[in-house]
Chain A
Amino acid sequence: MAAGAAQSQIAAAWALLPDYLSQHVLLSASALALGVAISLPLSVLAARNPMVRWPALTLTGVIQTIPGLALLALFYPLLLALSAFTAGAMGFRIQALGFLPALLALTLYSMLPILRNGVAGLLGVDPAVREAADGVGMTPRQKLLRVEAPLAAPVVMAGIRTAAVWTIGAATLSTPVGQTSLGNYIFSGLQTENWVYVLFGCAASAGLALIVDQLLGLIERGAARRDPRPAVIGLLLLLVGVGAALAPQLLRAATPAYVVGAKNFSEQYILADLISTRLQNAGGAVTRRDGLGSAIAFRALEAGEIDVYVDYSGTLWTNVMGRKDTPPRAELMAQLTDWMAREKGVTVLGSLGFENAYALAMERKLATSLGVETLSDLATQSSALTIGGDLEFLSRPEWASMKKAYGLRFRRQKSFNPTFMYRALGSGDADVISAFSSDGRIAAQDLVVLGDPKGAVPSYDAVILISPKRAGDKRLIEALRPLVGAIPVEEMRKANYAVDRDDGKVSPAEAAAGLAKAVKLD
């Protein structure tokens, strides 16, 4: 029932639109306003002074060549360092995740077209007219405001228009730094291969850009023809649009919400939906920070920028605690819980009941023909095989310790987007892949998960983490405690597969509802 599935996905996408659109509009409008506020005075300075012009145009030009995603990502560590500094020096933290990094990056992004057109517009004013302004007795300021600015206005407006379209487009990239935008459709859609979501997100942001472009076009026309009517109409419609888009934002701002985080893969989206629903059922308001980078998520929790998310014990053990040993599962959990409370003030509420461990997997046919059941067996064959891993896995200490413990040495090593990695097995692009033990595709593709007899890799219990700020929040803890120990790995695999499979896939929210029902927590 592909058509029915697509229809239900479109309905699910529509339901998310008010929140996504509203945040997208707020973000891009703020970035554009800030960009204009900085770039216009800078244009005046740059037009007057070649010593400013060259560096300003070059710098904004260089910023423009940085890929949008990288620029956004750069601001997170920068703000984190700044936040640590202000916390130490002035006793308050600035927000390193979400709105602020996205705003700053997009503001920088918006500057080039405004600055370039501003300078061109001002320098394009006929020198004879400028001299006449001096000659009739204008001060430099009067000359700027009464003559140069109005004459440069159409060119400047064209620059602002370009900047608006760029900013609205680039704002979709702010999802990974924890700012909700129309990009949430695109990122979660790519992750779960939900092409309906991807298309929906692209269409929504393109539509928004088109509308804004048209309205700014009206203002530009007004400026060019020195006719205030189209400009006023354009401005009014723009304000009404921004106001309407912001309404859900303002309504929601009244209740301080729980911020639920999710990293960027299907299981995380499903669990975040599960957690959100439980919090809402308990009467709490929820905002989401979806698609966070793995390293970003814990630091965001620590800083109180998200209140709750699910991470994995082994990941925290190696990445956050910096431990290299691999104690047995129960002992690792106990030490982790203790350490988190003591060192970070973070509550480890408990394990959900399943592991999502890093493991290597092969197609059963190949494994059987090579006689490989464990990593020890694989080591004897690996020099003839190609391993495919996701980008994160290949740079993780677990991979290093696996290689070291078993002496794994592969013929080739390739990195894939997690979704395409599983395909690589079928197409022969990889013989062995890094797999997650809760992945639904293991059962679906009949893969063999190779054993780890030497215990090279720690256990990866899925654990609920609660921020220091919410450590004493009874409602939150009572709403989530029933999840502890409630989810067996088979149910998690099923839910993951429901989202990841190609035919009849469902949205993470639907999968979360199904999962809740299956474990009798609905």
Chain B
Amino acid sequence: MPDAPAIAFQDVSRRYAGKAAVDAVSLSIPAGQFVAVVGASGSGKTTLLKTVNRLTEPDDGQVLVEGRDVAGEDPVGLRRRIGYVFQGVGLFPHMSVAENIAITPRLLGWSTEDIDARVDALLSLVSLPLDYRRRLPDQLSGGERQRVGVARALAARPGILLMDEPFGALDPVTREALGLATRSLHEKLGLTTLMVTHDVQEAVILADRIIVMAQGRVLADDAPRALLAGHPDPVVAALMDTPARQARAISALMEAG
């Protein structure tokens, strides 16, 4: 199936204690697209993302990756094929930067030379100096750790990259730089990227397509430009208006000055 979407959610639901965290979500993400999922905290973004590599199993519905139902796949193999950047990074504190980046290739049994070359390539890809190889995660700044997290996710050359608030807790300058770097990696490597964020502005700047979630449901799904132009749902409209509202507030301030 050459035209199969990279990721497809078909009526996916996941409940915790009877309450739906993800509620009958259907989406189709074609290969090569950069999709941002936005929504308030607790709206089900992380849960939806985790159903893709089976860190969470849906109660109902199906998730297809490259046309195949993930429920029928070995979760370990599936996860090694899909890059995942965790909310809060989740680097292994007892492993060096190089060991963290090399983990999936090592699990896949790559040769030492291939792994070494790959680690060097990834360090330069995420703009980290090569002499960072031996450092431990707690010897890095927050932004450097996020870069290592992205490098780790990309190490085994996945076609799909899942990112869960990858740039949370960073200063705005670093955040913007890292976001743009990721977008260019997406282009360069021909990835399909699904990124969760609660920052609408970031989503607007980086993504081809924005999905707005609330209480486990998809409220809106469109290109950033279209959503910025207005939306019948007041929640979506208010959310998408935040960047513009902030811009207006800033220019008012500048004029007053």
Chain A residues proximal to chain B, CB less than 8 Å? 126, 128-129, 131-139, 142, 146-147, 150-151, 226
Contact = CB atoms under 8 A, between A and B. Distances in A.
Given A136-B104, A137-B104, A151-B93, A131 B80 contact: no
7 contacts: A131-B55, A136-B103, A136-B107, A137-B104, A137-B107, A142-B107, A150-B94
A135 B107 contact: no
B92 A131 contact: no
Interface stretch (B82-90, B173-181, B222-230): B82-90
Contacts of A134: 55, 79
B184 to A, nearest CB: 24
B252 interface: no
Contact residues on B (Cβ < 8 Å of other chain), bracket = 20 to 34
Given A128-B86, A128-B88, A131-B55, A136 B94 contact: no
Contact of B94 (A128, A135, A142, A226): A226
B92 A139 contact: no
Nearest to B84: A135
B29 interface: no
A135 B90 contact: yes
A136 B88 contact: no
B76 interface: yes
B76 A132 contact: no
Contacts of A137: 76-80, 104, 107-108
A128 B76 contact: no
A137 B92 CA distance: 14
Interface in B39-59: 53, 55
Contact of A133 (B53, B77, B78, B92): B92
Contacts of A226: 94, 136
A142 B103 CA distance: 11
Contacts of A150: 94
B152 interface: yes
Contacts of A147: 92, 94
Contacts of A131: 55, 86, 90
A131 B87 CA distance: 11
Contacts of B86: 128, 131-132, 135
Contacts of B218: none
Pick from A135, A142, A146, A151 the residue with the most CB of B within 10 Å: A135
B207 to A, nearest CB: 22
A132 B92 contact: yes
A126 B87 CA distance: 13
B79 A136 contact: yes
Contacts of A126: 93
B91 interface: yes
B55 A135 contact: yes
A128 B90 CA distance: 6
Name the residue in B77, B80, B90, B104 with the highest tally of chain A Cβ atoms < 10 Å from its Cβ: B90
A135 B76 contact: no
Nearest to B164: A135
Contact of B152 (A136, A138, A142): A136
Contacts of B76: 137-139
B254 to A, nearest CB: 41
A124 to B, nearest CB: 12
Contacts of B152: 136
Given A129-B93, A131-B90, A150-B94, 6 more contacts: A132-B90, A134-B79, A135-B90, A137-B104, A147-B92, A226-B136
A129 B90 contact: yes
A100 B83 CA distance: 54
A231 to B, nearest CB: 14
A422 to B, nearest CB: 63
Contacts of A146: 92
Interface string B98-129: 00000110011000000000000000000000
B107 A138 contact: yes
A122 B104 CA distance: 23
Nearest to A149: B94
Contacts of B53: 135
Contacts of A139: 76
A491 B103 CA distance: 80
Contacts of B107: 136-138, 142
A146 B88 CA distance: 20
A151 B137 CA distance: 14
A128 B84 CA distance: 13
B80 A136 contact: yes
Given A136-B104, A136-B152, A137-B107, A151 B94 contact: yes
Contacts of B84: 135-136
A146 B94 CA distance: 9
Nearest to B90: A132
B91 A132 contact: yes
Contacts of A135: 53, 55, 79, 84, 86, 90
A132 B94 CA distance: 13
B18 to A, nearest CB: 23
A151 B76 CA distance: 22
Nearest to A139: B76
A226 B103 CA distance: 18
A454 B152 CA distance: 95
Nearest to B106: A146
A151 B92 CA distance: 9
B206 to A, nearest CB: 22
A142 B54 CA distance: 18
Nearest to A140: B76
A134 B76 CA distance: 8
Contacts of B136: 226
Contacts of B90: 128-129, 131-132, 135
Nearest to B87: A128
Contacts of A136: 79-80, 84, 103-104, 107, 152
A146 B107 CA distance: 11
A243 B103 CA distance: 39
Interface string B60-84: 0000000000000000111110001
A132 B79 CA distance: 11
Nearest to A147: B92
A138 B88 CA distance: 19
A248 to B, nearest CB: 41
A269 B127 CA distance: 79
- List of 10 A-B pairs having minimum Cβ-Cβ separation, nearest first: A132-B90, A137-B80, A137-B79, A135-B84, A128-B90, A150-B94, A136-B104, A136-B103, A137-B76, A128-B88
B134 to A, nearest CB: 12
Contacts of A132: 86, 90-92
A136 to B, nearest CB: 5
Contacts of A129: 90, 92-93
